[in-house]
Amino acid sequence: MPSPTAELRPHPQSPCKAVRRISVDIGFGAGPGVLQVRYRIEGDIGRLALPNADFARRSDGLWQHTCFEAFLRPDASESYHEFNFAPTGDWAAYRFSTRRSDRSLPDLPAPLIRFRSGKELCDLSADIQIPALPELAAASVIHAGLAAVVETNEGSLSWWALSHAAEKPDFHDPATFVLEVTAR
């Protein structure tokens, strides 16, 4: 998958000693119109709260536990899409007209989510069907903000993103949509 690769950084207010590194890849290559996002956590994976895979379904509130997120904005638009992917296979997708406003639920096929976990790393990848999202499908460039919420077995949360632009974690901040993916 030819793609931008980057590392997520923990928000200064939420360090997590169990995680050494979170890397992300994003790009087209899994098939026509399929945008693939991949997250890899390296560290003491046994200390993380990673629920087992279940029957995958669309679900709200995934960010309250370990969750991987992608914010995708077409070209220079104010509108954007938010995707949440859980290790269980659960997922969420939202469209916002502007920052945190006019939220709607786009009609799209469930993303294909694959999750695997070992002693020192876990990996989640998600395939998003871009043709089902007209604004993103028509864009020549997609601006991506990639993030993760990591929960430890003790119940503490840490917030990871490509960049943090505020005192509190805010994945919806357009200033954090720093990766550019050339659409095709």
Domain count, the chain: 1
159/114 Cα distance (integer angstroms): 22
Q: What is the pTM of this model?
A: 0.94
The CATH number assigned to the domain holding 76 equals 2.60.40.1190
pLDDT digits (tens, 9 = 90+) for 76-120: 799 999 999 999 999 999 999 998 889 999 999 999 999 999 999
Q: Which amino acid is at 86?
A: A
Q: How many residues does the chain have?
A: 184
How far from 167 is each of 21, 160, 164, CA to CA, in Å? 22, 13, 8
- Residue 153's domain comprises 5-182
Label residue 2 by pLDDT band (50, 70, 90): very low
The DSSP line for 30-78 is: SSTTEEEEEEEEEE-GGGB--PPP-S--B-S-GGGSSEEEEEEEETT-S
